[in-house]
Amino acid sequence: MAKAVPGLARFADALELINPHLISVEERIRAQALEFDPAIEGYVSYVSNKGGKRLRPVLALLAGGASGEITSGHVDLAVVVELIHVATLVHDDIMDGADIRRDQPTANAKWGNSLSVLLGDCLFAHALRLAAAYGDPTICLRIADASAEVCSGEIIQTQRRYDLNLTTEEYYRVIEMKTAALFAVACELGAYISKADQKVIDALKAFGSKIGVAYQIYDDCLDLAGTEEEFGKTLGTDIRKGKFTLPILLMLQGPEGAELERLRALLVSGEEGGEAELREMIRKSGSVTAAAQVAEKLIAEASQELASIPSNRYVEGLQAIANHVGVLIKALLA
């Protein structure tokens, strides 16, 4: 099980603020399995009902309340963005060869890659069908755009595996696509459905994007510095699969000469025992801490976006989410 992280009272308050709507979201997510052919209903139920943080639905609901009244339309949006997220997790676990997520076997560990690929595809298609039910071209287009961004980011990251020429700017662009796009559209459409002013929509979209990038940096740090026992999922996949994340890219900027050559060789060779040596080099370099500081700066920038719009309890709730990501980062480094 994931370890308890102290100092989350305000995060809990944010969840309590939208709790009735979150209950509706969970009920709607559970009900989605019944929309599929009975032969695959169990597969859909397994991957979509594992719980988790539900950060994207939380953002969609809070953004709706930050700019108006939370309605059934916001609940539907929360379901759509979560199903897209679950689809990406199914595909991620296949590509990473991950066996455990949320303390349970992954879909690919239970049923193999072929079935799991198709399962992820089904979830994507179903989410887009739900988006189409709004009857609003803007909502459909933005959901489709965000889905395309997520998939494109994953493709580019896969294409650039083991690429020692990858720059930090290119890394940021990849995670803006594969992770932040869904955070951003959750906040953007949450405000749009509330009929917010364009200035508010833009500010909340920017908030979501910055929090999404910060959260992905945290997740990349977790993959290198966390333990599977504490966090309940397969870790260390980035190194093993040649995904050079921010801590690794920052570490590559430090050493010179033979040390740099050894580091570069370890990153691309996959030699036996190399992962343990790499982890020790990462620990000594301080690159995880440096990457975490980048994430903390992004959280501060996200907070500035919130400062530009009228405050209410839901805006305070969004700030609590930003603070929560900061707490997760600090707990990882403790």
pLDDT value at position 2?
A: 37
Q: What is the dihedral of CA 245, 174, 293, 96, to 10 degrees?
A: -40
From the CB of residue 172, how many other CB atoms can be counted at a distance below 10 Å? Answer: 18
Local structure of 195: helix, strand or coil: coil
Distance CA 318, CA 58 (A): 9
Distance CA 112, CA 236 (A): 21
pLDDT value at position 272?
A: 67
| Cβ–Cβ under 8 Å, residues 294 and 333 | no
Distance CA 130, CA 189 (A): 14
Distance CA 298, CA 207 (A): 9
Is residue 281 assigned to a domain?
yes
* Local structure of residue 2 (DSSP, 8 states): P
Local structure of 256: helix, strand or coil: coil
Is residue 2 assigned to a domain?
no
Give 3-state DSSP helix, strand, coil % of the chain, rounded to 5: 75, 0, 20
| Cβ–Cβ under 8 Å, residues 299 and 210 | yes
| Cβ–Cβ under 8 Å, residues 66 and 94 | no
Is residue 1 assigned to a domain?
no
Q: What count of residues does the chain have?
A: 334
pLDDT value at position 225?
A: 86
pLDDT value at position 233?
A: 64
Packing angle, helices 313-333 and 9-17, rounded to 10:
140
Is residue 194 assigned to a domain?
yes
Burial class (CB in 10 A: 0-12, 13-18, 19+), 53: middle
pTM (2 d.p.):
0.93
Q: From first to last of the 334 residues of the chain, give the pLDDT tens digit.
A: 334 444 344 889 999 999 999 999 999 999 999 999 999 999 999 999 887 789 999 999 999 999 999 999 999 999 999 999 999 999 999 998 889 888 899 999 999 999 999 999 999 999 999 999 999 999 999 999 999 999 999 999 999 999 999 999 999 999 999 999 999 999 999 999 999 999 999 999 999 999 999 999 999 999 998 776 666 667 788 888 899 999 999 999 988 899 999 999 999 987 667 888 888 898 899 999 999 999 999 999 999 999 999 999 999 999 999 999 999 999 888 7
pLDDT value at position 230?
A: 67
Distance CA 286, CA 253 (A): 12
CATH number, domain of 117, equals 1.10.600.10
pLDDT value at position 103?
A: 82
Is residue 65 assigned to a domain?
yes
pLDDT value at position 83?
A: 97
Expressed as residue numbers, the domain containing 137 is 9-333
> What's the number of domains the chain is made of?
1
Buried b (16+ CB within 10 A) or exposed e, 243-269: bbbbbbbbbbeeeeeeeeeebeebbee
Is residue 192 assigned to a domain?
yes
Is residue 4 assigned to a domain?
no
Residue 70's identity, in one-letter code, is I
Using CA atoms, how far residue 82 sits from 20, 56, 240, 322, in Å, is 17, 6, 28, 19
Is residue 154 assigned to a domain?
yes
